[in-house]
Structures are given as C-alpha cells and as structure tokens.
C-alpha cells in the first residue's frame, strides 16, 4: 500500500469508527494498523480523542436539556411574556450547543494535528525506554549490594556496577552516552575492549534529549590521533543499511539492521526508529551508516515489537554540544570532518571502531 498522509489516515480511521466501511475494508484497515505500529498508535489516540469529544458533546447536550427544563419550570411558576432575548435563546439554543461541540472538536483536532499530543505520548506504557530497564538494573544492583553487606561485614565498600555503552566524540576524551545511564551516579568509569578502564566526569547533561557528555579524567588515558567517524547532520533515508556496536554484556556485540522510520516514538522528530534488536546495555551506543557516519545514539525500544528501537539523531547531539557553557568545558569540543571508515569493509570498520567505544560502568 502507498504511504498515507496523516490526514488521509485520519479520514480512513473516521470511516472505520463510524462503521461506514465494508467488511473487507474493515479487515484491510485492521491489517494496516497491525502491520504499521506508528499508525496503530495514532489510531488509538484518535479513537480516544473522538470518545472524549463525544463525552463532552453529551455533557453539553445534557446541560442544555437541564437548562431548558429549568426555564420551563420557572415559566410555569411565574408566567410572563418572554423577552426578545429569551425568545431568541429558546429558538437557537440547540444550534448553540451544536456550535459549542464543534468548537471543542476543532480545538482538540488542532492540538492533535499540530503534534501537541505527540509529546504526551512519550509517557505511554508502550514505550519501553531502555532507561526503565536500566532503573530495574540499578534497583537489583542496590539490593545485591545490601545483601552482600549483610552476609559479610568485611565486603569491599566498592559498589557493584551496572553497564551501558558510550562512544568518543573527540580525540581528547569527550564521550557521549544517555542521560538515563548516568543519572544518580556516584562515579563513572569507561572501559575499552582491551579491558583498560578510565575515570570519567560528567560535563553536561540534557535530560530532555536523554544525552550526557562525559570527559575522561585519568592520567593513564592517551589522546587518539582522531576519531575515525564523522557525525551526519542531515536526516538519513528510510531503509538505509545501519549498524551498531554496544555492550549488552561485557564484550562488544555487533548489531545490523535498517532505518525504519525518520521519526521516533509517537512521531518524535529528534529520533529515528531503527530495526535493530537492543538490550539495556546498548543504551548510549552509536548507530552508523554503511559509510561509517554516526547518525544516532541508541536510547530506547518499543515493548512487544522485536527489533523496534529508537535512536537520538546526531543533530540533537550537536545542538547539545553547542549549548554547553564555555566555562565548564575542558578545551574546545571540535568534531572531526574526516571519515577514515568510508572505504573500508564492514569488518575493518568494526576493528577500527572498537578503540572508540566504551562500556560505561556506573557505581
């Protein structure tokens, strides 16, 4: 089926809700929603909106009925000739109630079409941000720590860590990961694939974009010549071949897929939907295209749909970097414009990438 505009889909949904479709068209609509989760989410919201509008219209009609009954009662108690205003009201009150209902429908429809409710949908239970899984890991770790301390009072004071992924954005030690990964952290260490670990400081966070900028603050860390990838500012194309490397466990794991939507959950324009299976440890991992450009940072997934994950677009990262006050930076954050992965095979790209991707260990 060809791609539908938002208005075309809403018109189709209205026919379905009003039961004006044939049984075959009903099945076609239901199949379309089942195969296209973003449209299914829009339909559920639109259906809820229509139901709310209907309830409002019923309340207005009921209120008009009560008012009419009250006026009739008072006229019986004190009969008198109706004034011109009352006569006009009696004549047009039904039309006024209908006009009020239409006005309410227009307001709610405008809010929906302009994306107001898209922001609210981020809190929907259908969206399983990896942050929620990460919070579960945090709670389990804390409980584990308490249990160990109760068993043996001589246990080391160092807390057991939980991990995610981060990757270098400059050669001199700036690293990006998700905000939900480091939120509430006492200390952070970054470990590369060779097992070398470095202490890192939180430089800047942006909870709205779910991004955190770290800086390696460790005397054993040696700056690289340059990062091998560039950061793509333009949106990527649907169906584009993409891949990621992350740490859902204590060793690097490669994942391959494609870009399945130019917007994230509930139409979020700051994110992509990607078809790559992810786990909590993938949080903060890079998403690259076949040329080795960073196009996003993994942040969440959709519950109940295997392979439906979301990645923050690199333009959101660049906006965040540009908003960091100069007085808290440790030198300038300069993104490279030279890509040394472009002409390499995928396996060679991965080999070169691994030195720039870290396990983020939070204590």
| CA nearest to 178, candidates 326, 290, 328, 320 | 320
Query: How does DSSP classify residue 176?
Result: E
Neighbours of 330 (CB within 10 A): 13
Q: What pLDDT was estimated at residue 154?
A: 42
Q: What pLDDT was estimated at residue 146?
A: 54
The domain limits of the chain are 6-114, 128-363
CA–CA separation, 293 vs 341, rounded Å?
8
Choosing among 2.40.10.120, 3.40.50.720, 3.90.230.10, 1.10.150.120, the CATH entry for 128-363 is 2.40.10.120
Banded pLDDT at 123 (limits 50, 70, 90): very low
Q: What pLDDT was estimated at residue 89?
A: 54
Banded pLDDT at 43 (limits 50, 70, 90): confident
Query: How does DSSP classify residue 101?
Result: H
Three-class SS of residue 289? strand
DSSP string, 212-275: EEEEE--TT----S--S-EE--SPPPTT-EEEEEE-SSSS-EEEEEEEEESS-GGG-TTEEEEE
Torsion of CA 147, 152, 153, 154, to 10 degrees: -130
pLDDT (tens digit per residue) in 208-250 = 999 999 999 999 998 888 899 999 999 999 999 999 999 988 8
pLDDT (tens digit per residue) in 310-342 = 999 999 999 999 999 988 887 778 899 999 999
Determine whether 152 is exposed, middle or buried from the number of CB atoms within 10 Å of its CB (0-12, 13-18, 19+).
Answer: exposed
**339 alpha-carbon distance from chain centroid:** 28
Q: What angle do CA 326, 331, 332 make, to 5 degrees?
A: 70
Q: What pLDDT was estimated at residue 125?
A: 43
Query: How does DSSP classify residue 171?
Result: T
For residue 104, pLDDT over 80 is answered with no
Alpha-helix runs per DSSP H in the chain: 6-17, 23-35, 37-77, 84-113, 116-120, 130-151, 179-182, 314-322, 346-353
pLDDT (tens digit per residue) in 253-300 = 999 999 999 998 888 899 999 999 888 889 999 999 999 999 999 998
- Residue 337's alpha-carbon distances to 65, 225, 340, 348, 349, in angstroms, are 70, 13, 10, 20, 17
């Amino acid at each position: 089926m060809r791609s539908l505009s938002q208005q075309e889909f809403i018109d189709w949904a209205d026919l379905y809700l009003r039961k004006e479709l044939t049984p075959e068209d009903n099945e076609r609509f239901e199949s379309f929603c089942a195969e296209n989760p973003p449209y299914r989410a829009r339909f559920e919201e639109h259906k809820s909106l229509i139901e709310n509008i209907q309830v409002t219209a019923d309340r207005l009609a009921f209120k008009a009925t009560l008012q009419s009954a009250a006026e009739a009662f008072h006229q019986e108690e004190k009969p008198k000739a109706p004034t011109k205003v009352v006569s006009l009201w009696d004549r047009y009150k039904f039309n006024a109630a209908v006009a009020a209902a239409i006005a309410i429908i227009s307001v709610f429809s405008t809010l929906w079409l302009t994306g107001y409710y898209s922001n609210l949908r981020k809190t929907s239970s259908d969206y399983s941000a990896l942050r929620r899984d990460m919070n579960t890991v945090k709670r389990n770790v804390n409980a584990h720590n308490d249990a160990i301390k109760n068993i043996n009072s001589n246990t080391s004071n160092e807390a057991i860590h939980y991990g995610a992924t981060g990757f270098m954005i400059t050669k001199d030690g700036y690293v990006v990961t998700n905000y939900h990964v480091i939120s509430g952290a006492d200390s952070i260490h970054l470990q590369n694939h060779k097992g070398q670990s470095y202490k890192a400081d939180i430089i800047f966070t942006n909870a709205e974009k779910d991004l955190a900028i770290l800086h390696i603050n460790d005397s054993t860390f040696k700056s690289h010549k340059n990062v091998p990838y560039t950061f793509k500012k333009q949106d990527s194309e649907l169906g584009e071949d993409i891949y990621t490397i992350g740490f859902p466990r204590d060793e690097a794991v490669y994942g391959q897929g494609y870009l399945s939507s130019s917007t994230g959950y509930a139409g979020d324009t700051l994110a992509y939907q990607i078809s790559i299976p992810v786990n909590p440890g993938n949080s903060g991992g890079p998403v690259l295209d076949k040329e080795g450009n960073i196009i996003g940072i993994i942040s969440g997934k959709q519950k109940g749909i295997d392979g439906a994950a979301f990645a923050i677009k690199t333009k959101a990262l660049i906006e965040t970097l540009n908003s960091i006050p100069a007085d808290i930076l440790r030198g300038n954050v300069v993104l490279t414009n030279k890509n040394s992965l472009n002409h390499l095979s995928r396996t060679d790209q991965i080999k070169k990438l691994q030195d720039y991707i870290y396990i983020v260990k939070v204590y």
